[in-house]
Homo-oligomer: A and B are copies of this chain.
């Protein structure tokens, strides 16, 4: 594990972190959706062609999962993360298609020390995901519980 660089106390509203990029192939889109979201426009190229999407698009949950991988590699693996109680909002704004390169960044929106547990607090953040044309494909507002550098007094 890399050393912990981010804690509740090192992060501040307005902070922005680049999370890097990943590419998604048609085979990966079809494999993920065959397991978890087997709608025709995710798994069947011919049916997808005839659909309102005009071709295979990734399951929105696949986009979430790919974004989570970027979040873990670039942020959470170096953070005092204690898991997440949930997500406030996800918007799938544009289709993700085979060959797309997704780039993500996370912005700290607000932080709140725990009232009951002095060793942690919650961080609300906005993650924005763009494609290779710099179009926003997904936004996600989520919450993570984060350990503190030192217990609150």
Residues of A within 8 A of B (CB): 1, 32, 35-41, 52-53, 59-61, 64-66, 68-69, 72-73, 76-77, 81-92
- Which of the residues B39, B65, B88 comes within 8 Å of A36, measured between beta carbons? B65
- How many copies are assembled? 2
* A interface secondary structure, majority: mixed
Q: How far is the CA of A87 from the CA of B37 in the complex (A)?
A: 15
* A89, closest chain B residue (CB): B88
Q: How far is the CA of A32 from the CA of B84 in the complex (A)?
A: 17
* A52, closest chain B residue (CB): B82
14 residue pairs from A and B, CB less than 8 Å apart: A1-B40, A35-B65, A36-B66, A37-B68, A37-B72, A52-B83, A60-B84, A61-B64, A61-B65, A61-B68, A64-B64, A86-B89, A86-B90, A87-B90
